[in-house]
């Protein structure tokens, strides 16, 4: 009888500890993934292989001024919100004439009114730009932003169709489009 009482008390105490767990609320930023080929995870065939995967958060415009204000000109930006955006290259690629080895990199950008600097950096699993160190850059290129006729409410990244072993990563938010050509 004593053994049964001890076992019952242990189970009861264990149940209370297990029920005491609490979880933080949901993150307000939506996590998303962009693949090259576009929509890879959804449309893939058994032997298809991904070329690039971008994991990022999609903050919303919410009637705010984004480019030049929320994302200030001349300052390093983590591309998205919260944890910095990461780009996984499944094979060696060429980006604007520069070779980049297969691997996973953090994506940063520094916008100005006339050109954006796009950076791939070896430091991973970082929040924002707090741990950015240029000595870890594996790529730094400049592109010209384009003005869109329509407003893109949430930060969006997608890839154009792969043709002749090339695709373009497109990043759009508010009324700005930035394109990064990639060769495989």
- Predicted confidence (pLDDT) per residue in 77-103, tens digit: 999 998 999 999 999 999 999 999 999
Q: Reply yes or no on whether the pLDDT at 2 is more than 90.
A: no
The answer to whether residue 20 sits within a structural domain is no
pLDDT in tens, 28-48: 658 899 999 987 877 777 778
Share of the chain above pLDDT 90, in %: 76
pTM: 0.83
First-residue to last-residue Cα distance in the chain: 72
What is the SS3 assignment for 84? coil
Per the structure, the complete domain to which residue 67 belongs is given by: 27-183
> What is the number of domains present in the chain?
1
In a domain, 13, yes or no: no
Question: 37: cis peptide before it, omega within 30°?
Answer: yes
pLDDT, average across residues 67-75:
97
pLDDT at 4 over 60: no
């Amino acid at each position: 009888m004593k053994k049964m009482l001890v076992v019952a008390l242990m189970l009861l105490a264990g149940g209370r500890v297990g029920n005491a767990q609490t979880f933080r609320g949901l993150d307000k930023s939506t996590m998303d993934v962009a693949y090259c080929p576009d929509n890879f995870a959804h449309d893939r065939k058994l032997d298809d292989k991904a070329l690039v995967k971008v994991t990022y958060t999609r903050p919303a415009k919410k009637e705010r001024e984004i480019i030049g204000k929320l994302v200030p000109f001349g300052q390093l930006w983590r591309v998205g919100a919260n944890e910095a955006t990461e780009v996984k290259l499944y094979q060696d690629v060429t980006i604007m004439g520069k070779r980049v080895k297969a691997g996973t990199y953090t994506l940063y950008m520094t916008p100005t009114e006339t050109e954006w600097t796009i950076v791939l950096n070896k430091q991973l699993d970082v929040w924002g730009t707090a741990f950015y160190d240029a000595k870890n850059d594996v790529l730094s290129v400049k592109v010209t932003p384009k003005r869109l006729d329509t407003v893109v409410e949430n930060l969006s990244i997608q890839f154009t169709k792969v043709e002749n072993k090339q695709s373009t990563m497109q990043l759009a938010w508010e009324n700005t489009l930035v394109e990064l050509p990639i060769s495989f």
